[in-house]
Structure 1
């Protein structure tokens, strides 16, 4: 049985996730959402990622849980994997990107405040965090971590081809669906296809109704001892 886990919205910690959902009505993902969805039997897992990122530590916890998972994990970047969302993607065995999807990597930031000693400590923490993130990219790609630190310095945006060239993604998704560029709401291709399938099934049933009615009439005719029942 394949399991799909959606990484939609901001990535946050388990304690804050209910606040975002219940008080602000925002879509968020926390480590317990993902870890609790991993099958006990090691079945294949698909991540569908559409996220602007979030907190580094929860994203790293999710990444490491995925890397430790005994089954196969495929990450599909459906629209965007920015910032901490790229960390989550690094936990997958394979990373796929949809046509038009993007990644973005940059250095970590914080809301540090205080005296010079506290600011120095915050700077040290951020540098360590950047190095840890770059090491995850390095482990995925086999490229030096310093290469990714340089890219993070510039806040680098990557389309599917560029991400694949760097090794952060493995392949493009091949969708049997049109790529839309429009203003205003668009009904999803999947929804349209489901309606088409229902229409085809309905037409089949309609086509069978005359035969079923004819058979019913013959049975009723036998029951009433008549030639035909209207």
Structure 2
């Protein structure tokens, strides 16, 4: 079975906002988990993703690790940032010629006072260590080696990824190259869209009541029981 992992990786809650309101291609944990066969048969992930949010990517990674069947991650074009976390959940990672990986330090859109920024920094350092540990578990190399590579934002072609151990093999067929890192929309913007969507839903739910009240008022004005 082939399961595509395309576009931005985000949470189940945020996925509808990106899809329905922004028209973006995204992947969320439920997209993957609900696609896993019940019979434990082999699964191939076709990855073409610029990355996304760390927690949903880690959730997918762990779900793949828990899956009873064999999982192959096939990077058909690109696996950047959080998409590499997803790939680490597979039993085997393959890369097509021309495909690329990119690993770097985690980032956030945190703001606030000095204490809040210190807390955000601590969270990011812990996140970086957790990601490096996933790379270390895959390759058998020290996590510090990957922290150093993440520090300088490291881009890897198929041969380099195989040499480093993040990929197991390079495929022997040509595949189209996609190398476009799109802009990441802030969580605040997504939340504002969520709020607008909720407000719009609330207003729609109130329309029947408002129309009913208007009809009653018009009925009194025209001395009728009902106005159509």
* TM bin (shorter chain): 0.7 to 0.9
**Corresponding residue for residue 89 of structure 1:** 87
Task: Tell me the secondary structure at the aligned position of residue 107 of structure 1.
Answer: coil
The 3-state SS of whatever aligns with 2:86 is helix
- CA shift at 1:63, angstroms? 0.2
Alignment partner, residue 80 of structure 1: 78
User: Equivalents in 2 of 1:45, 1:173: separation in Å?
Assistant: 17
Q: What displacement does 1:173 show?
A: 1.2
- What's the CA shift string for 1:188-219, capped at 9, x where partnerless? xxxxxxxxxxxxxxxxxxxxxxxxxxxxxxxx
Aligned residue in 2 for 1:134: 132
Shift in Å, 1:174? 1.9
2:119 aligned with 1:121, yes or no? yes
Aligned counterparts of 2:109 and 2:2: Cα–Cα separation in 1: 34
Counterpart in the other structure of 1:27: 25
Contact 2:3 2:46 in 1 (8 A): yes
Kindly state the Cα deviation for residue 23 of structure 1 after the two structures are TM-superposed: 0.6
Gaps of 5+ in 2: 178-228
| Contact residue 77 and residue 176 of structure 2 kept, 8 A | no
Match of 2:69 in 1: 71
**Cα deviation, residue 110, structure 1:** 0.2
| 8 A contact 2:46–2:75 mirrored in 1 | yes
Query: RCO higher in 1 or 2 (8 Å CA, sep ≥ 6)?
Result: 2
Alignment of 1:38-187 (within 5 A): 38-175=36-173, 177=174
Cα distance between partner residues in 2 of 1:66 and 1:81: 16
User: CA 1:22–1:180 in structure 2 vs 1: closer, same or farther (change >3 Å)?
Assistant: closer
Which structure has the larger Rg? 1
Once the two structures are TM-superposed, the CA of residue 180 in structure 1 deviates from its matched residue by: 6.6
Partner of 2:11, secondary structure, is coil
Aligned residues: 177
